[in-house]
Structure 1
Amino acid sequence: MTSFYTSLSGLNAAQTDLNVTSNNIANVGTNGFKSSSAQFSDVISSSLFQAGDSVIGQGTRTKSITQSFTQGSEQTTGQSLDLMISGQGFFVTQAQGTGGQVNFTRTGSFNLDATTDNVVDSNGNALQVLPVDQLGNITATGAAAMKTLHVPPTNGTAKATTEVDLSMTFPSDSATLSDASFNKNDASTYNGTSSTTVYDSAGNAIPATVYYVHTQATTTNDDGTVSGTSQWVAHTYIGDQEVFPSGSTTPPTLTFDASGTLTSPTGAVTYGAVTPTGASAPMAVSFNYGTATQEGSFALQTVTGSQNGNTIGQLSDLTVGADGVVTATYSDGSSQKLGAVALANFTNPDGLKQMGSTNWQATGTSGAAQIGAAGGNSTIAQGELEMSNVDLSAQLVNLISAQRNFQANAKAIDTDKQMVDSIIQVIN
């Protein structure tokens, strides 16, 4: 009957081989998946006094199921939080919350958690990084130094606009109009406009528009010389509110001499505070026309315009360098280094325990995780994912081989059964 159990062990081994191969084939499209292979050993049973040349094997058993950590092919996605490790190492993730479970993975498909603004995987585990300074230099290494990659949605502090500088060029031959008929909703009642954006103390953007009415022109004499002065009334609106110089109820007038030089006002015009629709607080803004000129025949134009306020920077881009340093860029032009992606290496990766969802955990066999950053033979590629390292052709060959092994052992059992039946018939 020993042959029955010997062949049965072969059937079990073939079934195990089929299961492992089937699992590999099923995960051929799973990003970051690492294929496994079943390793078997023979079973020998002998007694102390049995001759060495008369020992008969008693079947096979599963020795181990080993994993292959070879590099998978790359898949380009273009997503800023899709990352791929080229070379050795594992991403480190941790369940959010104090003392969360630490996992290791080769799957670099991450996204930004809308609730916590942390970078997480599909299971909600947070990606771990090492701290860096604003030059991108790592300031601490090791497991104790790791922290969750948090992406602030905003950066900087809002500053209310208090001054606007306008460098304007006014056409000397522009038609003159009556200021009494000015209506900002009727373009025929003014000669031109200039616009800029100003900010209140909360960083809200408010349009600032100045409407210019040419009320007086210089005189060209018979000898071609120019005399007199030119005047432009500047109607200034902050949002939907017209503003006037402090202590006045009339708009300022810009005066140019015969050569086109601004003679008045000679400094910044300070306007009274107003609270336009959309503003969180009153706004008091001054306008400086110090470099304005009048010349030539062309449309009124703003040469340069600037203001000293700013809004809070909104997150506009997230980049990850080959060294794993994550940089957030904001709409105000500022940027912030958030950390360097932590990579874990192991003395014996084959000893890692599979946890499902292409996650592994450290064991005594694998050794403790050695935490560092990308560098040397390991780099980070942004916008790419590592595909499964399953060789489908090889797995199909393994599948056929396991099937043949199963059939051969089943045939051995059937043959053994026929022999037993024959013996029983002889006895009877």
Structure 2
Amino acid sequence: MSFYTSLSGLRGAQTDLSTISNNIANVGSYGFKRSRTEFGDIMPASSKTAGQGVRLKGIQQQFTQGGFEASARELDLAISGSGFFVTRNSLEGGPTYFTRNGSLSIDADRYLTDSNGAYVQVMPADANGNIASASLGSASALQLPLTSGTPRATSLMNVSATLPSTADKPADRPVYSASNPYAFDRLDPNSYNYSQQTTVYDSEGSAIPAMLYFVRTGSVADGDAADTWEAHLFVGNEEASTVTGSTPATPIELTFDASGALTSPSGATAFGDVFPTGASAPLAISLDFGTATTQETASFSVGAFEQDGIASARLNDISIGDDGSITATFSDGSTQVLGQLLLANFANPSGLRQQGDGRWTVTGESGQAQVGAAGGEGFGRIQSGTLERANVDITDELVSLISAQRNFQANAKAIETANAMTQSIMNLRS
């Protein structure tokens, strides 16, 4: 029997060595929890019989807090206290995993994922930033929005400009002749006096460049009946026309009196629909020069060039608070609460089943997951820009390794001694 007694000791020491080696091997694994082997003696057959060896009672995981490592990433998180992040491998259903590894990232589809590519579960927020009740059923994967707000297509442009009374008429320029008659062409700088660029927006909030060209067409000083200008509006690569279907497009005609005040048009002028390349739908734009547009003995200037379109604000950054709330910041300076990280805890965390890569699943021994938000009762707080290291003390593990090795050697020596005694008995019989 001594052979089998020592053999059980060898097996126990080997299991202990394997467990300690696994702890040491994962000293650099974020969120890893060390394990400890627990042994018990095998009950002897009677009070007059020696013990029958050792048995492995279990390998218990030690869910003590690991040390923190500072990081420059906003999405590197650590739980200071109790709790696990909750993840799923698929967007719909699939097994639920629990992890302490808070090395999160954004995948190609803008979902928040953990280091294994699983979807981090978040309690969603409504339009007012209110968080839904904490439950596994209501939690879902978080997909970051690209934009915020409701876009609006440009429908009105307000312009105030000062047009020089000394400006020449492009049609009288020497470059034009009977063989080369004058015609407005935005690609020909000789065919207009001035230009001004702005940006308009389509119904999806996409920015489209717009250009306004000014052409002097009449001068009282040159003998014409009135001081007149034309304003050509291009949206993208298309010219807008005040007369639907007109070819070429009909511009707005501006008329000034002797004092330089604008007499015509007296209000906003509507252009027909224009559908530039890249726009989601045609734009119907009106242009209003107001009363501040004048003709003076001054250089060309634009006092105001405004439009009523609204672009969608682009996502710039996200931040995660110590309560797990996820806040997005957009290009217009606005912020939006997207949700709150869901945390889980267990009555007996040591009963969780290891799934590798710092993940665990529920078992009957662990009890059902109790979920909530960081900072709530029974849950730690979240530290952003920090990762939790393995709770492995390399010094303790090396000491335990030496002890397990000595134990293995002692059991091996016991087998060797039993073998020598048996051999001696065999020699007596011979």
TM-score (normalised: structure 2): 0.81
Of the candidates 230, 233, 240, which is equivalent to residue 233 of structure 1?
Answer: 230
Q: Give the Cα–Cα distance (whole angstroms) in 2 for the partners of residues 384 and 94 of structure 1.
A: 23
- Corresponding residue for 2:198? 196
Could you tell me which amino acid in structure 2 is paired with residue 68 of structure 1?
Q
Q: Secondary structure at the match of 1:96?
A: coil
Aligned to 1:140: 133
Hey, what's the Cα distance between the residues in 1 that align with 2:38 and 2:299?
84
Residue identity matched to 2:10: L
Match of residue 222 from structure 1: none
Task: Give the distance between the partners of 1:297 and 1:62, measured in 2 at CA.
Answer: 100
The alpha carbon displacement at 1:276 in A equals: 2.6
Q: 1:332 to 1:63 in 2, by over 3 A?
A: same
Residues 326, 340 of structure 1: 8 Å contact kept:
yes
Match of 1:164 in 2: 157
Question: Structure 1 residues 242, 138: closer, same or farther in 2, change over 3 A?
Answer: closer
Alignment correspondent of 2:168: 176
Inter-partner Cα distance in structure 1 for 2:21 and 2:296: 83
Partners of 2:297 and 2:321 in 1: CA distance: 52
Structure 2: any 5+ residue segments left out of the alignment?
Answer: 172-181
Distance 1:426 1:218 in 2: 141
Pick from 403, 411, 414 the counterpart of residue 412 of structure 1.
414
Task: Write out aligned runs for 1:307-346 (5 A).
Answer: 307-311=307-311, 315-329=315-329, 336-346=336-346
Q: Deviations over 1:266-319 (max 9, x none)?
A: 322211223333334432211222264559998644444332234555544333
Residue 208 of structure 1 pairs with residue 210 of structure 2: yes
Q: Which residue number corresponds to residue 226 of structure 1?
A: none
Aligned residues of 1:176 and 1:216 also touching (Cα < 8 A) = no
Does the 8 Å contact 1:136/1:325 carry over to 2? no
Aligned letter for 1:282? Answer: P
Asked if residue 350 in structure 1 is aligned to residue 343 in structure 2, the reply is no
- 2:89 is equivalent to residue 87 of structure 1: no
Preserved CA contact (<8 Å) 2:195 2:211:
yes
User: Is the counterpart of residue 402 in structure 1 residue 404 in structure 2?
Assistant: yes
SS in 2 for 1:389: coil
Residue of structure 2 in register with 1:273 after alignment: 273
Alpha-carbon distance between aligned partners in 2 of 1:23 and 1:383, rounded to the nearest angstrom: 28
Please say if 1:125 is aligned against 2:124: no
Look up the SS of the partner of 1:145 in the other structure. coil
- Say which of 85, 96, 100 aligns to 2:94: 100
Report Cα offsets for 1:207-265 as digits up to 9, x if no partner: 2101224567899xxxxxxxxx9755322212222223347864334456677755543
Q: Distance in 1 between matches of 2:350 and 2:70?
A: 28
Alpha-carbon RMSD:
3.5
Q: Aligned residue pairs: how many?
A: 412
- 1:61-80 matched pairs, under 5 angstroms: 61-75=55-69, 78-79=72-73
Q: How far has the Cα of 1:163 moved from its partner?
A: 1.0
How many angstroms does 1:360 deviate by?
Answer: 1.0
Q: 2:141 is matched by which residue type in structure 1?
A: T
Could you tell me whether the CA contact under 8 Å between 2:201 and 2:311 is conserved in 1? yes
- Mind listing any 5+ residue stretches in structure 1 that lack a counterpart? 220-228
Checking the alignment, whether the CA contact within 8 Å between 2:129 and 2:336 is kept in structure 1 is no
Q: Is residue 31 from structure 1 mapped to residue 35 from structure 2 by the alignment?
A: no
For 1:234, give the aligned amino acid: A
- In 1, are the aligned partners of 2:159 and 2:293 still within 8 Å (CA)? no
CA deviations 1:335-362 (Å, max 9, x no partner) are 5433211000112211211122221122
Task: Identify if the C-alpha distance between structure 1 residues 42 and 262 changes in structure 2 by more than 3 Å, giving closer, same or farther.
Answer: farther
Distance 2:305 2:67 in 1: 52
Give the secondary structure class of the aligned counterpart of 1:282: coil
Aligned partners of 2:131 and 2:340 also within 8 Å: yes
- Looking at structure 1, the residues matched to 156 and 212 of structure 2 have their Cα atoms a distance apart, in angstroms, of 14
Checking the alignment, whether the CA contact within 8 Å between 2:39 and 2:57 is kept in structure 1 is yes
CA contact (8 A) 2:199 2:207 kept: yes
Amino acid at match of 1:23: N
Equivalent residues of 1:174, 1:214 under 8 A apart: no
Alignment check: 8 A CA contact 2:202 2:280 kept: yes
User: How far off is 1:152 after superposition?
Assistant: 4.2
Tell me the SS of whatever aligns to 2:53.
strand
Aligned-residue sequence identity (percent) comes to 49
Partner of 1:288: 288
Measured in 2, the distance between the counterparts of 1:76 and 1:214 equals 66
**Cα contact 2:164–2:299 (8 A) shared by 1:** no
CA contact (8 A) 2:243 2:250 kept: no
Q: How does 1:232-271 map to 2 (within 5 A)?
A: 232-246=229-243, 250-254=250-254, 262-271=262-271
> Which deviates more, 290-299 or 350-359?
290-299
Alpha-carbon distance in structure 2 between the residues aligned to 1:204 and 1:132: 27
For 2:201, the aligned partner's letter is Y
